[in-house]
Structure 1
Amino acid sequence: MGLLSSTPQHQPTSDDNAIVTSSTNNSTTPDDKMAAAPGRHSDNSLSLADKSETIELQLRATQSSAVHKDDLHLDRDGRDSIADGQVTDYRTYRRRWFGVAQLTMLNIIVSWDWLTFAPVASSAATYYNVTETSINWLSTAFLFSFVVVSPVTIKILHMGPKLSIMVAAALVLIGNWVRYAGSHSSRGGTYGVVMFGQILTGLAQPFVLAAPTRYSDMWFSNRGRVGATALMSLANPFGAAIGQLVVPFMVEKPSQMSQGVLYVSIISSVCALPAFFIPAAPPTPASASALTSKLPLVASLRTASRSLELWLLLIPFAFYVGFFNSCSSLLNQMLNPYGLSDDEAGIGGALLIVVGLVVAAITSPILDRTKAFLPSIKCAVPLIATAYLAFVWMPETRAVAGPYAVLSLLGAASFALVPVALELLSEMSHPISPEVTSVLAWAGGQLLGGCFILISDALQAGPDADPPLHMKKALVFQAVVALLVAPLPLCLGLFGRADKVSLRRVRSDTAALSA
């Protein structure tokens, strides 16, 4: 057998958690062989499931091979190493929580930046001397910015999450202070400057919103990925809840718009600065699947585009994220015509998110243990569609009880869905790098969110309607579309295609642990 170089063994430090496992592998893992073999990338006749099955067979073959005593020798430090392979310690490190905390803070603040103006649209319109439609464009431009920079995001995340996080932090810092430059006077602001700053903060969003799956894949084992992804991803709508709830109290009249933007800029700066000091990668891998060499980007996109199962999940995910973004941006304009105040609408927006966070905090650890990803998705999707249908009639009640109840249900189902859907996309698409499906899913949601805001604005009733400027048609539109896409994820695993929704990373990790 040919001699392979041995990787230096990492010495445990006080930063280390307990070793998850030690596994003897060849220096090139079975997954690596699959990804690196000539012709594998270009073999379009193989489906994603076929490739995964080949990887699984190679993994089992590797793990069944015995390591003989003659293969061992002492290295320069006097430690045992393997002549034709290497001993890999799968570890998790406490330092990973620094990166989790930083991604969480950035996702909170970038979403708060998005909703700096929408919760006080009337005051913002007066302050900047524009219409409320122009204020809606601040939210819409933010969402479209995500789509524009998505190809760059995939490329940067493919190199590792740290660079992506630093790019986001820099854009957040610059964008916020540009917005304040256009809002520094209490007598009025410059809309064009604010729009430019808003676009810069919008460009920051994909670099942190799509990063959690990549980060958890690198730093966490399969027993912690869902929880980590949930914490980092759901911080984004939590920031929207803060914006919905806090901004109306910060900006009670047009002249306070300047100080509101200043406060958000200061908070954003404090949250962004630590991003430049997070660790780039763990010293040793957290799991066997983390060792896998991912498919190149072009091959990844080609493979993903031909997977029916990925589309059955990507499409409803994008539509529901789009409606969530649209509803969050326009909630005040949906409720105000029926007598509800900005503060009451803000509380409704906060309930939409806070209840969802509580439910996600309960379900994510359970799903980390059970891996019941598909059943949970099939339960959440009908609830989401039903909630959008029920919300059509809630503003007309002219009371807070109905809207609050439906928004709470919508938030609970939506937040339970997000981390599970992202993890299932990564599992079904393995060995495609997680950032590919994550960026595609979020980019679709942001693009549709921007489109839905424009469509809803166009469907808004005129000033002569009863009540004036109501958005009943927009509510009907989102309910109908939400119901139309609901059957798609319910078809996953049916019609003899159960093997297409297997958890490939989990299988790889489990096989390595049992070796």
Structure 2
Amino acid sequence: MATSDFKSEEIQLQDTFTTTSPSDEKAGVITATSIRTSNSSISLPQGGYKLYRRRFVGILGLVLLNIAAAMAWTWFGPIANSTATEFNITLDQVNWLGNVMAVLYLPTAFWIPIIVNKWGLRRCTEIGGVALVLASWIRYAGTAKSLPPAGAYALLFIGQVFASIAQPMFQCLGTKYSETWFDTEGRTTATMIVAIANPIGGAVGQLISPVLDSVRTSILVLGIATTVIAPTVFLIGNKPPTPPTYAGSKPPASLRGLVLAMAGRPLNRESTMTVRERIDFAVIVVVFGILVAATASFSILTNQIFEPVGYSEDEAGFFGATLLLAGIVGAIIAAPLFDRIFKYHLSLFARICAPLVGIGWLVLIWVVRPNNLAAIFVVMAIIGICSLTMLPVVLELACEITRNADASSAILWSTGNVISIVFVLSQQALRASPDASPPLNMKRALLFNGIFCVVGGFTAVLLKGEQKRKIQDEEKKQLSLAANAASTGGTENAPAPAQEA
């Protein structure tokens, strides 16, 4: 079929509306309204699209679960040297407690669209919750002082393997949950709330782990916290009785469908992507992957970057937390603006912000030096604000381009985690020797990180990013209004298409 056949067509509402049964029509009840357009018949839900207050309860559950899962990833970063000493293992072994989560993220994330398609959002989070609890107590079993170093490390590592299963189960569901439960005036904010929950967890982990008495105590605290949070999986619902938008009414698209669409072989009309959309998604994958990897690798190597130049474990934790917490504040302020005011300017924001993030990481090369606390805090805050504000924007933009929320999110987060492995291993290899000045400094690692971030950040200027999903949802919203107006005999008393219920 020609590409032009798949272009957006102007929908013209005809004068006739039909209901599911003549008796319902006589009674004035609309159970399912059908609107005939120029090309097809579109079914609209009873009374128009609806919003449910319970959606906020589900968001709360996803936020708490993301925080718990992310704490495990960054927990050992600020206490890497203490962990190596207390368990008699090497720094590289400590780093692999974080790396394993990135390695296993990829195979786990690609199962998520399949699980959501077959069993729904709730079952996916239940699997993650079980993995989270198992991770906590297997990890704690490794703190027994009677164990040899190899045995203790094996249990710590296995615990992190289960945490690796849990993290993508929660992180990749943010865009799908927002599409399923929120309308066009709340989707970006919902995505933002779930997306920044992971960095919040990272910040919490970096703040708490260095201040506890010992590494063994910190692992116990982590286990208790995650076990308490795990039951919040029951707050998350599969889908609302009535969808909030047209996109939310569609069954989940498959990962295979997105892969084939990117290859120019779509499974159906709705999964088709133009050449421009395929280029845009490829650009987003590159930009997102590199910038997420930069932040993730920095979280793992924080202590190793700052301690050689004279900063303590506590200060290293505060630097990482500044990046994340400043970004959280920026994202909280910006996301509602993108939902209600700048709703069609997601790509413009990405084109501006991504290069700034790259420049920020590059500047860090010269800022990380002794007695330079103020400058480090400022650069960390700037990187955090730009990075985390852009995070939900890019995730939503990928959904707009692909019309496939869970698969696009899985690909983006998986790419970020795979590249983060490369970043961590490369930066470990670039660590200076013990004879360097200062010993074991990470200046070459910062140079590696900065150059890649500048290249990745400036790649974003190639984005066009037409938001077809939002345009389509707004069209269907107007059709729903018109259908309700016709069914009630006029427009004045027509119900809104996204009522609160």
TM range (shorter): 0.7 to 0.9
Say if 1:115 and 1:68 are closer, same or farther in 2 by CA, change over 3 A: closer
Say if 1:81 and 1:166 are closer, same or farther in 2 by CA, change over 3 A: closer
Give secondary structure in 2 for the equivalent of 1:312. helix
Say if 1:188 and 1:423 are closer, same or farther in 2 by CA, change over 3 A: same
Alignment check: 8 A CA contact 1:72 1:83 kept: no
Say if 1:342 and 1:69 are closer, same or farther in 2 by CA, change over 3 A: closer
Say if 1:294 and 1:117 are closer, same or farther in 2 by CA, change over 3 A: closer
Alignment map for 1:328-347 (pairs within 5 Å): 328-347=299-318
Question: C-alpha distance in 2, partners of 1:101/1:153?
Answer: 20
Question: C-alpha distance in 2, partners of 1:77/1:119?
Answer: 67
Q: Is 1:114 equivalent to 2:73 in the alignment? A: yes
Question: C-alpha distance in 2, partners of 1:197/1:271?
Answer: 17
Give secondary structure in 1 for the equivalent of 2:66. helix
Q: Is 1:162 equivalent to 2:122 in the alignment? A: yes
Deviation at 1:304, TM superposition (A): 3.1
Alignment check: 8 A CA contact 1:110 1:239 kept: yes
Question: C-alpha distance in 1, partners of 2:20/2:320?
Answer: 66
Alignment check: 8 A CA contact 1:72 1:81 kept: no
Deviation at 1:470, TM superposition (A): 0.2
Deviation at 1:428, TM superposition (A): 1.0
- 1:286 aligns with 244
- How far does the alpha carbon of each residue in 1:279-300 deviate from its partner, in whole angstroms, 9 at most, with x for none? 2211110112212345443222
Alignment check: 8 A CA contact 1:169 1:272 kept: yes
Deviation at 1:274, TM superposition (A): 2.1
Question: C-alpha distance in 1, partners of 2:473/2:392?
Answer: 20
Q: 1:135 aligns with which of 82, 94, 116?
A: 94
Q: Which moved more, 1:80-89 or 1:137-146?
A: 80-89
Structure 1 gaps of 5+ residues are 1-42, 494-500
Q: Is 1:150 equivalent to 2:109 in the alignment? A: yes
Q: Which moved more, 1:77-86 or 1:410-419?
A: 77-86
- How far does the alpha carbon of each residue in 1:62-119 deviate from its partner, in whole angstroms, 9 at most, with x for none? x445216997432899844468666433111111111100110011111101122121
Question: C-alpha distance in 1, partners of 2:467/2:219?
Answer: 45
Alignment map for 1:455-470 (pairs within 5 Å): 455-470=426-441
Question: C-alpha distance in 2, partners of 1:485/1:446?
Answer: 15
Q: Is 1:91 equivalent to 2:53 in the alignment? A: no
Question: C-alpha distance in 1, partners of 2:71/2:164?
Answer: 11
Question: C-alpha distance in 2, partners of 1:194/1:107?
Answer: 20
Alignment check: 8 A CA contact 2:113 2:254 kept: no
- 1:30 aligns with none
Q: Is 1:384 equivalent to 2:357 in the alignment? A: yes
Deviation at 1:305, TM superposition (A): 4.6
Q: What letter matches 1:103 in structure 2? A: L
- How far does the alpha carbon of each residue in 1:138-158 deviate from its partner, in whole angstroms, 9 at most, with x for none? 111111110122221221133
Q: What letter matches 2:283 in structure 1? A: L
Question: C-alpha distance in 2, partners of 1:333/1:83?
Answer: 62
- How far does the alpha carbon of each residue in 1:244-284 deviate from its partner, in whole angstroms, 9 at most, with x for none? 11110014xxxx22211111101101111121353221111
Question: C-alpha distance in 1, partners of 2:350/2:23?
Answer: 50
Q: 1:272 aligns with which of 230, 239, 249?
A: 230
Q: 1:66 aligns with which of 10, 13, 16?
A: 16
Give secondary structure in 2 for the equivalent of 1:447. helix
Question: C-alpha distance in 2, partners of 1:265/1:294?
Answer: 34
Say if 1:215 and 1:176 are closer, same or farther in 2 by CA, change over 3 A: same
Residues matched between the structures, number:
452
Give secondary structure in 1 for the equivalent of 2:166. helix
Alignment check: 8 A CA contact 1:73 1:80 kept: no
Alignment check: 8 A CA contact 1:141 1:198 kept: yes
Deviation at 1:379, TM superposition (A): 1.6
Q: What letter matches 1:66 in structure 2? A: T
Question: C-alpha distance in 2, partners of 1:299/1:126?
Answer: 49
- 2:280 aligns with 309
Alignment map for 1:21-420 (pairs within 5 Å): 46=3, 51=6, 53-54=7-8, 56-57=9-10, 60-61=11-12, 63-64=13-14, 66-67=16-17, 72-74=22-24, 79-81=29-31, 87-88=45-46, 89-159=48-118, 160-185=120-145, 190-251=152-213, 256-306=214-264, 307-369=278-340, 370-371=342-343, 372-420=345-393
Structure-2-length-normalised TM-score? 0.86
Structure-1-length-normalised TM-score? 0.83
Question: C-alpha distance in 2, partners of 1:146/1:76?
Answer: 55
Deviation at 1:123, TM superposition (A): 1.1
Q: Percent identity?
A: 29
Deviation at 1:482, TM superposition (A): 1.1
Give secondary structure in 1 for the equivalent of 2:23. strand
Give secondary structure in 1 for the equivalent of 2:240. coil
Q: Is 1:508 equivalent to 2:472 in the alignment? A: yes
Say if 1:315 and 1:80 are closer, same or farther in 2 by CA, change over 3 A: closer
- How far does the alpha carbon of each residue in 1:299-342 deviate from its partner, in whole angstroms, 9 at most, with x for none? 22111355111001111100100011001111111111111111
Question: C-alpha distance in 2, partners of 1:87/1:130?
Answer: 60
Say if 1:196 and 1:279 are closer, same or farther in 2 by CA, change over 3 A: same
Question: C-alpha distance in 2, partners of 1:220/1:75?
Answer: 30
Give the aligned CA root-mean-square deviation in angstroms.
2.2
Alignment check: 8 A CA contact 2:49 2:245 kept: yes
- How far does the alpha carbon of each residue in 1:416-467 deviate from its partner, in whole angstroms, 9 at most, with x for none? 110000000000112xx20111000000001111111111000000100000
Give secondary structure in 2 for the equivalent of 1:300. helix
Alignment map for 1:449-460 (pairs within 5 Å): 449-460=420-431
Q: What letter matches 2:115 in structure 1? A: I
Alignment check: 8 A CA contact 1:110 1:205 kept: yes
Alignment check: 8 A CA contact 1:335 1:345 kept: yes
Q: What letter matches 2:458 in structure 1? A: P
Say if 1:203 and 1:65 are closer, same or farther in 2 by CA, change over 3 A: farther
Structure 2 gaps of 5+ residues are 35-42, 265-277, 480-501
Alignment check: 8 A CA contact 2:50 2:244 kept: yes
Alignment check: 8 A CA contact 1:71 1:82 kept: no
Say if 1:464 and 1:69 are closer, same or farther in 2 by CA, change over 3 A: closer
Q: What letter matches 2:380 in structure 1? A: L
Question: C-alpha distance in 1, partners of 2:173/2:356?
Answer: 27
- How far does the alpha carbon of each residue in 1:341-387 deviate from its partner, in whole angstroms, 9 at most, with x for none? 11111111110011000000110010111212011111211110110
Say if 1:502 and 1:115 are closer, same or farther in 2 by CA, change over 3 A: same
Say if 1:71 and 1:440 are closer, same or farther in 2 by CA, change over 3 A: same
Alignment check: 8 A CA contact 1:185 1:258 kept: no
Question: C-alpha distance in 2, partners of 1:388/1:429?
Answer: 30
Question: C-alpha distance in 1, partners of 2:160/2:355?
Answer: 35
Alignment check: 8 A CA contact 1:158 1:435 kept: no
Alignment check: 8 A CA contact 1:227 1:365 kept: yes
